Amino acid sequence: MSIEHDPTGPASSSVERYCPSCERSYVDRDRCPTDGTQLVSLTTAEDALIGRDVDGRFTIEARLGAGGMGTVYRAVQHSVGRPVAIKIVNPRLVSDPLVIKRFLREAKLTSRLSHPHAVAVLDFGQTRDGLFYLVMELLEGRTLRQVLEADGRFGLERLSRVGGQICEALEGAHRLAIVHRDLKPSNIMILDGPAGGDLVKVLDFGLAKSLSTDTTSISTVTSSGALLGTPAYMPPEAALGLEVDARADLYSLGVILYQLASGRMPFTATTVHELVAKHAHESPPSLTGVPVALVTLVDRLLAKDPAARPESAAAVQAALAEVARDARAERGAASGPDAFSDTLSSAGRAPRPAPAPRRRGAWIVGAAIAVGLVVAAWIVAAQRETPSSVAPAPALSTPPPPPAVDPAPAPPPAPAAAVVPAVDAGAPPPPRRPASRRPARSKTPPAAATSPDAGAYPW
């Protein structure tokens, strides 16, 4: 059943025209604007249920929408004064035992399902005059169909987020052996989440069937001529009248993801029978403009053979999350390090200063070169200095001048008597030092020092 506020829906005094394919109502139209199906004219009258008291606990206030099994109303629960939604079986079907059994089965199963992404069933029963009802939480929001019509195709992030929440609701139902059997955008509500994002609630497990307790065959349930499920989202096994399981919901989910990713349906037709035949025998065109991983996932979901589909809704959720992660990683790699730095700065975090190893390394290299030059100069000067050509420097009151290199060739050595300095008779002879050390100074200048640099040292 669709709980959808359609701005093009019927007014209280207008003739309602109903589309059996998408289960939406229109006014002043002959064909459905979405799939082209011929609309069925429904004669409407003033709804006698408006203002009615239900079992002394609820009061019906307004009509919200209609579906294949009945009508949904806004009501108020007397005990706590909260608004609720009440679904009442169409009175024209109340004489059909099969419809009543299906309704009671729905009430029992959905009351067992408690999940944050599934609508909560609060109560169910039968009025004194024979009307069966189901009380649910009232949701304020838009259906996924309305969101898709208003916003167009979804981006990868939003598709993964919305699809993942649908998978969570299906996984919770499948663990209780509940199959939705009529999953479609008009049965999915999009609410405003706590952080402003999309909060998904899957509605209307009205066609759900227990795998563990239901022994009624598919052919018996549909013997009245009712087609269980919406043809545009119907899995091939259901279209062929075969037994269905949780993988049927995964096929419907694949149709929804195809629609969200492309903005179009995988199959279109002018009649319901043609549409059902395409789902049963044809393959849809492959998605374009989306990651290959998403194309592969949707193709698996739309496989004709249920065994070729993913094993569970949880597996589909994990695959969608991986598609979103890969897309984020690809965007991050394409943006480069500059974009990453901009992201950090925009978040109020100052960028980390870059280290300067090159300046420290240049300082060390420069110091090493300077030391090398000094050592080289010292070695050259030491090689040029001999005991016969170097005389002790005169005593100075100030430190010796910086070393100088004599570019002129050294004079020929003088006779030994000419280079021996005069010393005091009582003074001990100066100790002999190696050529690489500084000779001891003498108080008497050399006798035959003719060069102005004769008393200079390499250092």
Q: How many CB atoms lie within 10 A of CB 180?
A: 26
Q: Catalytic pick from 6, 47, 53, 182?
A: 182
The rounded distance, in Å, linking the Cα atoms of 221 and 228 is 9
Candidates 155, 250, 146, 232; CA nearest to 190 is 146
More confident site: 167 or 44: 167
Angle between helices 246-262 and 144-151 (to 10 degrees): 20
- Per the listing, tokens 């319901």 go with 272
User: Torsion over CA of 81, 87, 93 and 96, rounded to 10 degrees?
Assistant: -90
The percentage of the chain sitting over the pLDDT mark of 90, rounded to a whole number, equals 36
Q: Let me know if 182 is a catalytic residue.
A: yes
pLDDT of residue 428: 55
User: Torsion over CA of 76, 79, 80 and 82, rounded to 10 degrees?
Assistant: -10
Which residues neighbour 158 within 8 Å (Cβ) at sequence distance 6 or greater? 198
More confident site: 126 or 42: 126
Lowest model confidence (mean pLDDT) among 148-162, 316-330, 338-352, 417-431: 338-352
Determine contact, residues 360/409, Cβ cutoff 8 Å: no
Bridge partners, residue 54, by sequence: 58
pLDDT of residue 45: 59
Vertex 247, ends 244 and 250: CA angle to 5°? Answer: 125
Candidates 258, 82, 67; CA nearest to 163 is 258
More confident site: 321 or 22: 321
Q: Across residues 242-253, what is the average pLDDT?
A: 94
The rounded distance, in Å, linking the Cα atoms of 9 and 87 is 18
Q: Across residues 123-141, what is the average pLDDT?
A: 89
- H or E element that contains 143: strand 142-143
pLDDT of residue 403: 55
Domains by residue range for the chain, with CATH: 47-137 (3.30.200.20), 142-218+225-332 (1.10.510.10)
pLDDT tens digit string along 260-286? 999 999 999 989 899 999 999 999 999
pLDDT of residue 401: 57
Candidates 229, 228, 163; CA nearest to 190 is 163
Q: Across residues 331-353, what is the average pLDDT?
A: 47
> What is this structure's pTM?
0.61
